[in-house]
Structure 1
Amino acid sequence: MAVTIYDIAKATGFSITTVSKVLNNYPDVGQKTREKILKTVDEMGYFPSSYARTLTTKKSYTLGVIYMESLGIGLKHSFFSGIIQSFKQVVELEGYDLLFIANKIGDEKKSYLDHFKYRGVDGVVVFSSENDDEELDKVIDADLPSVIIDLDSSNTNVVHSDNYQGTELALQYLTDLGHKKIAHIAGHQNTFSGIERMKGFLKAMKRLDLTIPPSYIVNGGFFSIEGGREAMQQLLVLNERPTAVFASSDTMALGAIQVIQEAGLRVPEDISVIGYDNVDWSEYITPRLTTIRQDVDKIGADAAKILLNSINGKTKKYVKEVIPVTLVKRDSCSER
């Protein structure tokens, strides 16, 4: 039979009110009393029910999760899975559980917002690569505290990498190696990162006073290996092909490298390739991939802290945090 708060009160000789105050971390309880109650709680294996805790604290200690990625590989996506892990570690320390939602409650289809209201979550974190989702907008515009990752909004908290800095680092590195004919395999222009890295590419190339033939910008789709392959095939048949390629993701960079090698060309001797993300396998392919590293640990941890602060009323304004990135030099780029 489960241990109750009444059992703790009886075992310690304190009132139910005093025990409740200790369990909910009220300050107006003496240290010796607190220690005795907590020791008894531990010895008797008492766990407060989530329902009782909700009545006491007015919180469910549950955070809703909206997770959408374009490749259809779910939590195997190395960028988002790394962020989710660091986010999870921070919120768990504060006693929160994560609820990944479906679009149904029983047999009835529900919106994200309806689902979160039904579950009574305290806040929502959004992991998404796509900009255009009407149901997502409803969540962001609601009173429910939220934070979005790898997207942008003026209506909620935001955490994402510095995509402009990333493209600047990549292109400056390639030009320092002597490259002038630089192509871009772009991410889908319905994604925040795809749009931002495209803008960054155009801005950096202009600053470096380099010409961009229209044929040097190719849509690689939703950041897949196949998308990188198809884009690189278009670049290889040009009369004046590029000497370097900046891909908007490591997966597209891998696809590009495969096509280059299949054509009998060498990376980096004939064409240099640089990716974006620094996924786990990027240092194990041949050649080892030069790339832009996103700090997934900081993105996830900071997003968690921002959301918890919003839930606890510690911040009145929306927070927008842009996380710096770094260039990881390996073997897929060389001097021209």
Structure 2
Amino acid sequence: MITIYDIAQFTGFSPTTVSKVFNGYSDVSEKTRRKILDAADELGYVPNAHARSLTTKRSWMIGVLFIEPSGAGILHPYFGGVIEGFKQVATSKGYDLMFISKDVGGKRSSYLEHCKIRGIDGVVVVLPDASDPYFQELLESNIPCVLLDQESTVKSTVYSDNAEGVRQAVSYLHSIGHRKIAHIGGGPTFAGEHRLNGYQQAMQELGLTINPQHIVQGSYDYTIESGSRAMEELMKADELPTAIFAAGDNLAVGAMMAMKRRGLRVPEDISLIGFDDIEMAKFLTPALTTVRQNTYVLGSRAADMLIYSIEGGEDVQQGVIPVELVIRDSCRSL
């Protein structure tokens, strides 16, 4: 078995320096660190996790808490990109990931208890549920946490610039002649409320009248079925809109299906814009114009912020990730 002494002999550095690299000490130059890590890869060195934990007083384990009500779990389109970005940064810095639940060893426990039992160094919370008392308990603890799609004064947060994305979408529709713009919302979620506020602000800034019948809330799960139900409700309005901004791509897909059942076409009858830029968006017919949020950057930024906290950083940080409008075929000029 390869040891740090073999790496020291191979590289010419002292065993102490080699040990510092694997234990994450900051007083080693990047050039030296790179040489030692490259040598470790070449020699096939595998660090002893138990020994490293004893040395650093850390478990080198990060908890992943995903509170998502639709039942899609890790198949949720938001989750994959976020966790991939998070994982790339976390593993590159020596951390492993563990999913957190309320059950440990077959017994019911809180998230905080689970973290303590497993010795978790920190937790990334994806789409947190502010109404969950177990989440609030974790939030109030001294365990480092980073929250995605939530606001907090006690823990660091990172989220997409939702309101700006909606402003871009509504401004684009206005620029191609639309004045009767409706909104299918994402319910009382952090993103849903920000996107609704962005829609209202954009309409006001452009001098457009908001028809109350043209704001219909989908449910907080952002599913295709929810979008379909919302569109059925919207089609009961006294006057149909010429364009719709949907707070999520799945909502937009559901709206598109409901319109098709009623004999309406996108974009010939109603133009449509979503939010997220999920994988299927570009394969729809017509391909969906949407606001792209960079889930990979959301995840990688969250990992940087959490590791900063784990390693002693005390500042509560807030990261707002830019978005961009991706124009495809689901909107037409009037």
TM-score of the alignment, normalized to the shorter chain, above 0.5: yes
Separation in structure 2 between the aligned mates of residue 137 and residue 322 of structure 1, nearest angstrom: 23
RMSD: 3.0
Q: Aligned in 2, Cα 1:8/1:68: closer, same or farther, shift over 3 Å? A: same
Q: Is residue 194 of structure 2 the alignment partner of residue 196 of structure 1?
A: yes
Contact 1:164–1:196 (CA<8 Å) still a contact in 2?
yes
Total equivalences in the alignment = 331
Separation in structure 1 between the aligned mates of residue 72 and residue 174 of structure 2, nearest angstrom: 35
Report the counterpart of residue 106 of structure 1 in structure 2: 105
Q: Is residue 120 of structure 2 the alignment partner of residue 121 of structure 1?
A: yes
What percent identity do the matched residue pairs reach? 47
For residue 70 of structure 1, give the secondary structure of its aligned residue in structure 2. coil
Paired AA for residue 218 in structure 1: V
Report the counterpart of residue 169 of structure 1 in structure 2: 168
Runs of 4+ in 1 over 6 A off after TM superposition: 2-12, 14-19, 25-29, 33-44
Q: Is residue 236 of structure 2 the alignment partner of residue 234 of structure 1?
A: no
Q: Aligned in 2, Cα 1:209/1:43: closer, same or farther, shift over 3 Å? A: closer
Separation in structure 2 between the aligned mates of residue 61 and residue 129 of structure 1, nearest angstrom: 23
Report the counterpart of residue 220 of structure 1 in structure 2: 218
For residue 292 of structure 1, give the secondary structure of its aligned residue in structure 2. strand
Report the counterpart of residue 206 of structure 2 in structure 1: 208
Paired AA for residue 195 in structure 1: E
Report the counterpart of residue 143 of structure 1 in structure 2: 142
Displacement after TM superposition at 1:200 (Å)? 1.3
Per the normalisation by structure 2, the TM-score is 0.89
Q: Aligned in 2, Cα 1:251/1:129: closer, same or farther, shift over 3 Å? A: farther
Q: Which moved further from structure 2: 229-238 or 35-44?
A: 35-44
Separation in structure 2 between the aligned mates of residue 307 and residue 91 of structure 1, nearest angstrom: 9
Q: Aligned in 2, Cα 1:95/1:263: closer, same or farther, shift over 3 Å? A: same
Paired AA for residue 326 in structure 1: E
Separation in structure 2 between the aligned mates of residue 90 and residue 192 of structure 1, nearest angstrom: 25
Paired AA for residue 89 in structure 2: V
For residue 319 of structure 2, give the secondary structure of its aligned residue in structure 1. strand
Separation in structure 2 between the aligned mates of residue 35 and residue 220 of structure 1, nearest angstrom: 50
Contact 2:277–2:292 (CA<8 Å) still a contact in 1?
yes
Deviation by residue 1:234-264 (Cα, 9 ceiling, x = unmatched): 1223221111111010001011111112211
Paired AA for residue 207 in structure 1: E
| 1:19-30 map, 5 Å | 20=19, 23-24=22-23
Q: Which moved further from structure 2: 258-267 or 268-277?
A: 258-267
Separation in structure 2 between the aligned mates of residue 150 and residue 82 of structure 1, nearest angstrom: 14
Q: Is residue 309 of structure 2 the alignment partner of residue 310 of structure 1?
A: yes
Contact 2:66–2:128 (CA<8 Å) still a contact in 1?
no
Separation in structure 2 between the aligned mates of residue 27 and residue 253 of structure 1, nearest angstrom: 48
For residue 87 of structure 2, give the secondary structure of its aligned residue in structure 1. helix
| 1:1-336 map, 5 Å | 20=19, 23-24=22-23, 46-128=45-127, 130-189=129-188, 191-221=189-219, 222-313=221-312, 315-336=313-334
Displacement after TM superposition at 1:215 (Å)? 1.2
Q: Aligned in 2, Cα 1:21/1:207: closer, same or farther, shift over 3 Å? A: closer
Larger Rg: 1
Separation in structure 1 between the aligned mates of residue 270 and residue 36 of structure 2, nearest angstrom: 68
For residue 275 of structure 1, give the secondary structure of its aligned residue in structure 2. strand
Separation in structure 2 between the aligned mates of residue 322 and residue 15 of structure 1, nearest angstrom: 42
Contact 2:183–2:247 (CA<8 Å) still a contact in 1?
yes
Contact 1:129–1:192 (CA<8 Å) still a contact in 2?
no
Q: Aligned in 2, Cα 1:274/1:312: closer, same or farther, shift over 3 Å? A: same
Contact 1:70–1:129 (CA<8 Å) still a contact in 2?
no
